Structures are given as structure tokens and as C-alpha cells.
Amino acid sequence: MMDWTDTHCRSFHRLLAPNALLYTEMVTTGALLHGDVARHLRYDASEHPLALQLGGSDPEALARCAELAATWQYDEVNLNCGCPSDRVQEGSFGACLMRDPQRVAASVAAMRRATDLPVTVKHRIGVDDCEDYAFMKHFVETVAAAGCTVFIVHARKAWLQGLSPRENREIPPLTYEHVYRLKQEFPQLTVVINGGIRSVEQCRQHLLQVDGVMIGREAYENPYSLAAMDAALFTHTARAAAGDAAATECDDAALQLPSREAVLQAYRPYVERQLASGTPLKHITRHLLGLYRGQPGGRQFRRLLSERAHAPGAGIDVLLDAIPVAGSAESTSVAA
């Protein structure tokens, strides 16, 4: 998510979801090939497994960026074919690419020739008036023929004219059935569903139909939900893989989550390293504001960070002072 899931955000989310695959914000090919590569690609080692999401439409440029992803030791390279922003439309990439599946296929093929990393595609179920299942099926068929085996599907179409990026995340209706049907008709592909997923129970229901779930806005607005999802879903998966027939009946209440305070204390060394390197505290703490969402003291926690982290020279004491402000009355059980 552009301007959201930077390295500070991902390092924080890794503490909440130790098993999840994390994705960078979308980085354009132009930014990598003509800008500061280190600024865009550096990350903390704790973020692995980590996928680099690219925005672009030129196969050669995407291939060169895929090589950079391998050089920087990312675990996956992902092509964004779902972003509807004006900037993306001006560059004829993002969701625009769903209208040109042959170009996407050529890009995937070029990236696969350039690197041994998995090359995946994230897309919508449709664009503007092209919203029937056949449109998406043709897109996936074409791109899969170029060797892509993993498709992450935002179960909304994108309106390229008339809606803002935020409205495109909310107004077009969710059509999960199209994503389910895609998996049914292409069982050999890995299909991951995205859009409007906010709870463990929703994840479980989707996983009856598809191979994985991607969490976006909920992870940012209510980051502690990641801890519940990670604990519940990966514990069940591990038990099932071990042959435990009772895995699906695992008592979620027995899965203890780290307290929010424990997560912040674990994050402290990272924050201190970043401060020592010159990173302003506000660039880090902006990603923490939702941690105590719905909890006693949550408003005070947000206010203290918002007011004090922006001060020149703000240090680790701001974060430490915010922890007791939030109070100790918090739930650490898994919420369905």
C-alpha cells in the first residue's frame, strides 16, 4: 500500500505476524532505474519473507527491476495490476494493465527470465465496464501461460474514472464468488483473495475456497488483528500438517497472543537503531497509532504519539511514555 507499508511498518507488522508473507508498497520501475535504489529497496532482515511489489508496464524495465529484487535478496517479485490511482493511469500501468493481458504476460515472461525468484501478479476482478467473470478469466489464462502460477485477487473491480483510490477500496462491491470460481476452474494455480477481510473467521471461510488471504487496510488500521490471524491460522495449519485430526477444533481462547506492550518493547531496539541513524520518530510511530484500537487508553496513546513524536529531536522516551498511558486492561485472546 503506497505510502503505508514502508520498512518501519513492515518491521512492526513482523512482530505481530511472524509467519506471514509481507509485501512492500508498490515501487515503480522508474523510481528504481532512475532514482535512489537503496532508499526504495532497503529493509530490515527481520522482514523476511518479503515480496517486492513493482509498478510498471515495460517488460525490459520490469526485468531489470526483478534482477534488483534478487540482488537485494527479496523472496518474491510481484507485479501490481490493480492500483487505480491517477499517477498509475498516467503511466499506463496498475489496473490499466488488465486491459492488456498480453503485455502482462510478456512482462511476467521477461521477469522470469531475469530471476529465479517467484513472479506473482496482483489484480482486480475487473476494470470499469469490463467486470464479467470472462474478462478476468481471460486475463488470468493469458498471464498463466507465461508461467505465472500465483494470482492475488482484490475481489472488487476498479473504476479508473470518477473514483479516488480510497473510494476504489470501498465503493465497488466485493464479489468473492468470482475469486472462488477462478480457483475452481484453475486448481493448478495458487489463488489468494484480498478485499474487505477483517477477522479470523472470515479468513477461515475464504480458505475453504482459495489458497490464501491477503490483509490490507485491516492490518494497518487495526494491526493487533494480525496477531490473532497469525496465531489462529498458522497454528491450525501446522497441527493439520502434523496429522492432528482435531486441528480445526483447536480452542482459539487457548492461543495466547503477545500483549501490545510486549510488542512495543520488542519493537524498541528497531526504533532505537533507526533513531540513531537519523530517522525522525514520527516516520516510525505513525504506523503504531492503531495498535490500541478499541482498547482502554487507546485514544490517549494515539494523542501522545501524534503530539510528541513530531517534535524536533523526539526520542525513544516518547514511545516508552505512551505505553503506560494506554493502560494494562487489554485482551490477548484470539478474536474471531
Positions marked catalytic? 83
Residues making up the annotated binding site for FMN are 53, 122, 154, 194-196, 216-217
HEC per residue, the chain: CCCCCCHHHHHHHHHHCCCCCEECCCEEHHHHHHCCHHHHHCCCHHHCCEEEEEECCCHHHHHHHHHHHHHCCCCEEEEEECCCCHHHHHCCCHHHHHHCHHHHHHHHHHHHHHCCCCEEEEEECCECCECCHHHHHHHHHHHHCCCCCEEEEECCCECCCCCCHHHHCCCCCCCHHHHHHHHHHCCCCEEEEECCCCCHHHHHHHHCCCCEEECCHHHHHCCHHHHHHHHHHHHHHHHHHCCCCCHHHCCHHHCCCCCHHHHHHHHHHHHHHHHHCCCCHHHHHCCCCCCCCCCCCHHHHHHHHHHHCCCCCCCHHHHHHHHHHCCCCCCCCCCC
Q: Identify whether the C-beta of residue 159 lies closer than 8 Å to the C-beta of residue 172.
A: yes
Residues making up the annotated binding site are 53, 122, 154, 194-196, 216-217
> Shortest CA distance to 57 belongs to which of 28, 25, 37, 83?
28
Q: Identify whether the C-beta of residue 103 lies closer than 8 Å to the C-beta of residue 166.
A: no
